[in-house]
Amino acid sequence: MMRIGVLASGRGSNLQALIKEWQEGRLAGDIVAVGSDNPQALALKRAEEAGIPHKGFPRSSYTSRQEQEQAILNWLQEQKVELLVLAGFMRVLSEEFLREFQKPVLNIHPSLLPAFPGLDAQRQALEYGVKVSGCTVHFVDEGLDSGPIILQEAVPVLPEDTEESLSNRILEVEHRLYPQAVNLVASGKVVRKGRIVEIS
């Protein structure tokens, strides 16, 4: 079973979806670590309730962002994490972190990448006037939401949609799509060939 670590900054609803799959025996791995840059994050409470080792890494405790990132990296390595899942982690991991970690890192983004990367993707979609949005699970590289795409699913944009209503409908899909992608990677069914991801 692959050892899975999760980093989250906020409420951790995608983390909860993964915990549910894990507790019900449907996750192709064990969640062994949950870390956060926000010691008040609900995600840490969810980890505690599930009996998962967890730790906060507040930026104020470190002299630099680099030192904070190194502390997170050291802890993940101590926990022998083999697959890192970002679940609403509001920090861009540096190239140095990714190079030293040397394991797959996954992220989920609330748009059909490469459209609308970065923050407020749902608002970007509404302001642009697209008829279809959705979510994307991708490998993390040194760019912003630019890594090879594993899975995507479309969500229609309705004429009456607000940022909140669109976000909520996309989030429902995220909670299903992210565990599916984690399972594919953890069970060795994903092969990267440059930008192209093949699923067996």
Query: DSSP letter string over 13-64?
Result: HHHHHHHHHHHTT-SSEEEEEEEES-TT-HHHHHHHHTT--EEE--GGGSSS
Question: The tokens 């926000």 sit on which residue?
Answer: 38
Closest to 21 (Cα-Cα) out of 128, 193, 176: 176
Catalytic, out of 54, 109, 138, 175: 109
pLDDT of residue 5: 98
Task: Let me know: does 138 contact 99? Beta carbons within 8 Å.
Answer: no
Topology match between the domains 1-103 and 107-200: yes
CATH number of 107-200: 3.40.50.170
CA 191 centroid distance within chain: 19
Domains of the chain: which residue ranges? 1-103, 107-200
Report how far residue 51's alpha carbon sits from residue 34's, in angstroms, rounded to the nearest whole number.
Answer: 10
pLDDT of residue 69: 97
Q: DSSP strand E in the chain: where?
A: 2-7, 29-36, 54-56, 83-86, 105-109, 132-139, 149-156, 190-193, 196-199
Q: Let me know if 54 is a catalytic residue.
A: no
CATH for 1-103, options being 3.30.360.10, 3.40.50.170, 2.40.50.140, 3.20.20.70: 3.40.50.170
What parts of the chain have a pLDDT lower than 50?
Answer: none
pLDDT of residue 54: 98
